Structure 1
Amino acid sequence: MSPDAFNAFCRALPATTHVVQWGGAHVWKVGGKVFAIGGWSDDGAGVTFKVNDIAYEMLKDRPGLRPAPYLASRGLKWIQHYEKPGLPAAELKDYLRQSHTIVAQGLSRKKRMELGLAVPAAVRRAD
């Protein structure tokens, strides 16, 4: 995925913000929390995203994917797509979308409401 495609996709997700940090990485956040990191250099590219426990087990040993350096070593469930074959673009987008959802669901109900993010029906109170 090119930097432009990555940034356009992440920008289209609800309530996202973007910052370039950590030596030029494109960091995407929802509610101030990171859900995706993209980095490109002459040595290659990497797209890093948060996953659930099941996806982590399914993806961590696939060719072109690995537990995300630094994050996974601290017990966090993050995967890095770092070389081919990796994931097809459509599947990578699905995982980026899921990462956004996982992170957004971890925000407080108040924060989700401030950002205009749907509050899951399971936590809504009957009026």
Structure 2
Amino acid sequence: MDIEDLRSICLQLRHTEESIKWGNDLVFTIGAKMYCIAGMDHPLQFSLKVPPENFDEWCARPGVQPAPYLARASWILLQQPQNFSLDEIKKLVAESYHLVAAKLTKKQKAELGI
């Protein structure tokens, strides 16, 4: 898996926007809220939001750690995405997207039609 594979997965989700922040991080958002952050350096590493009840379980897996600066909000860092199947990564990205989209304001949801 490389950055283009991750871009493809994220950009298939409705209303996703991408931008570069902090100099070298590719950030995917919905309604201006981040749901995936990927370092553009090699090897690929990226952060996602997970349900709080699954956070510790995810962090116990090899190649996963609490995301720097975002762990308190239940974000994980996949340091070794090659340890996971493409289907598993797609599910993780979609779950992060839906968790973040659910927290948008009613006005934002109406504007996006979700």
Q: TM-score, normalised by structure 2?
A: 0.92
Query: How far apart are 1:51 and its partner, in Å?
Result: 0.7
Structure 1 residue 86, shift from structure 2 partner? 3.5
Shift, 1:109, TM fit? 1.5
Q: CA deviation at 1:85?
A: 5.4
Structure with the higher fraction of residues in helix conformation: 2
Moved over 6 A (4+): none
Name the counterpart of 1:121.
none
* Structure 1: unaligned runs, 5 residues or longer: 118-127
Match of residue 47 from structure 2: 48
**CA apart distance, 1:47:** 1.3
Answering whether residue 32 of structure 2 is matched by residue 32 of structure 1, we say: yes
Q: Is the 8 A contact 1:51 1:102 kept in 2?
A: yes
RMSD of aligned alpha carbons: 1.4
Higher Rg of the two aligned structures: 1
Once the two structures are superposed, what CA deviation does each residue of 1:87-119 show, in whole Å capped at 9, x if it has no partner? 2221111011010000000001221111121xx
Q: Per chain length, whose mean CA-contact separation is higher, i.e. which structure has more relative contact order (CA < 8 Å, sep 6+)?
A: 2
Q: Kindly state the Cα deviation for residue 15 of structure 1 after the two structures are TM-superposed.
A: 0.9
CA contact (8 A) 2:44 2:81 kept: no
- Aligned pair partner of 1:94 in 68, 91, 97: 91
CA contact (8 A) 2:30 2:97 kept: yes
Amino acid at match of 1:92: I
Q: Please list every run of 5 or more consecutive structure 2 residues that lacks an aligned counterpart in the other structure.
A: none
Task: State the identity %.
Answer: 30
TM-score of the superposition, structure 1-length normalised? 0.83
